[in-house]
A = this chain, B = another copy of it.
Amino acid sequence: MADFAKFDAYVRAHTAEYVDELKALVRQPSVSAQGIGIDETAAIVLDRARARGGLAADALRVSSGPPTIVGQAGTGARTLLVYDHYDVQPPDPLDEWDTPPFEPTERDGFLFGRGVSDNKGNLMARLQAIEAYRATIGDLPLRVRVLYEGEEESGSVHLADFVRTHGDRLRADGCIWEAGYKDAAGRPTVSCGLKGIAYVELHVRGAAKDAHSSLGTIVPNAAWRLVWALATLKNDRDEITIDGFMDKVRAPTAADLQALERLPFDEDATRRIHGITRFVRGLTGLELKKKHFYEPTCTICGIVSGYTGAGSKTVLPAVASAKIDFRLVPDLTPDIVATLLRAHLDRRGFTDIEVVAGHGESPSRWPTDSVAARAAVEACRATYGRDPVVYPLMAGSGPMAQVCDALRIPVVGFGSGNASSANHAPNENIAIADYVDHIRAFGRFLHVFAGLAL
């Protein structure tokens, strides 16, 4: 039997050093959307992968993409792929941060800074876990491969090409994905996939320029055209009504529904957090969870037309725009959404509405009983002393399909985040205790995934 008490003691003894190493990585900005600090950060990550993780690692590029770090260490029957990214979201709005985003700061047991949760913390914790494993348990009993991307926050535009070119260095029997969070009640969670996303903009032009509103009788109004078109996409029961859209949604199986029955979901806490008295359609219980985890969304993220300042202006707007975000479950893809949406609008005479496809990612869903998933559950149980909550899909999105569907690698996700980690927002944070626990959990995960007993 491996001595994980010794492993834990080692991690405790090195906590200050590990946190300092994370702080050094956070202190280096790496904002892919603004092209800030990408090469510098890649160099640090490559060095840490070699020095801390003992990986044989390289920084590679495809076409004009950023450096992508790949590496491996250990030998064994099974191979695990670790996916993380070293780039971060822009820190704006700066004035809402209590301490500067790139000056990592400890406060009340939490570490604040851009990227501590998404995703430099998990990246660093996993390398540190490999070191601690070697120092206390022994040689790695499996092959660990890493894939550290530098433009996850900018749409991962080169990743599919990278996987096609360098797939042989990425093949594995299971993958741990970047993120994982404790839920609002503090329960550890394990997820087995991500929803996809299709972000589109709708643009309408009516008259050549804004007109006086007295012409509302006879001159087409871009705002009305947009409202009418939008109202055909989803009805006021919150049912997506795009022709053929819901036909593409794979229904949950009986086993999925049984698991969903058991899955805890704090309705009161969720309503309280969002300041609402009821969920859409008044849903509750299993139906609510089913909609949240197994159904796609069609969300107006923004809409604007005409005069929106104070007071009144009697204007007939010439242009109108909306931004719509579809969260996708299998078997929807961004291409399917774009095709169905265009056909749906054309069929109803909305040929005047331009659809501009933006960021898109396919959903990626994996069995909850894969070797990786079962190992994650066992590792979390041993680390946290309780069963983790297993989600079939996380509601967020990421380039999982480009990697794991392309290479057919079952995925699991767990990590050091919490329900208020504020990813993409000011005061991004993780608890130091959760960071340490993720090192502990990942060390155990390596062991169990390799086929060994805790």
Contacts and interface: CB of A to CB of B under 8 A. Distances in A.
A275 interface: yes
Interface residues of A, number: 71
Q: Count copies of this chain in the complex.
A: 2
Nearest to A200: B312
19 contacts: A197-B314, A212-B395, A214-B395, A217-B292, A218-B291, A219-B279, A223-B301, A224-B299, A227-B230, A227-B300, A228-B231, A228-B236, A300-B306, A301-B307, A301-B315, A302-B305, A304-B308, A307-B323, A312-B323
Contacts of A234: 224
B298 A302 contact: no
5 tightest A-B CB contacts, nearest first: A208-B275, A214-B395, A216-B297, A216-B299, A231-B231
Nearest to A208: B275
Contacts of A316: 299, 301
A428 interface: no
Contacts of A220: 276, 278-280
A355 interface: no
A305 B303 contact: yes
A211 interface: yes
A325 B216 contact: yes
B207 A276 contact: yes
Interface of A: 195, 197, 199, 206-209, 211-221, 223-225, 227-228, 230-231, 234-236, 238, 270, 274-276, 278-280, 283, 288, 291-292, 295, 297-308, 311-317, 320-321, 323, 325, 327, 349, 358-359, 395-397
